[in-house]
Copies of this chain bind each other. A is one copy, B any other.
């Protein structure tokens, strides 16, 4: 397979393989530590907003609306780098995460770990989620 050569961003976004709802999965990773933070979904408009503002904006499937990460909780994700994969169907966001990425108040969302025939929780919240969302109980 030959990779697509350098392209204008706009025509590259045209070629992404959005799903039937116009969405594409986006993985957020802390840029300096490599820590995996979360996975959510973006549409073309949220990708464009994220690149324009430098603050990560997902698309909320439950609310069917832009989900400007940290808008209600203050736990924003500043964009450091945005990448696409070989198949043009996944986004990697390298970010600087303020505080907790997870709506449970934990630093990251991947806190369920398989150990033998059990699934355990191996991290604790940094902050009580009720404190995070006391003013506006929508998205993290």
Interface residues of A (CB under 8 A from B): 1, 3-10, 12, 25, 27, 29, 33-36, 38-39, 51, 81-88, 90, 92, 102-104, 106, 109-114, 116-121, 129
Contacts and interface: CB of A to CB of B under 8 A. Distances in A.
A5 B111 CA distance: 11
Contacts of A51: 114
Contacts of A116: 9
How many chain copies does the complex carry? 2
Contact of A112 (B8, B85, B129): B85
B1 A81 contact: no
26 contacts: A1-B104, A3-B111, A3-B121, A6-B119, A9-B116, A12-B112, A25-B25, A25-B39, A27-B39, A34-B34, A36-B36, A39-B85, A81-B113, A82-B113, A83-B111, A83-B112, A83-B113, A84-B110, A84-B114, A85-B110, A85-B111, A86-B104, A86-B106, A86-B109, A86-B111, A92-B110
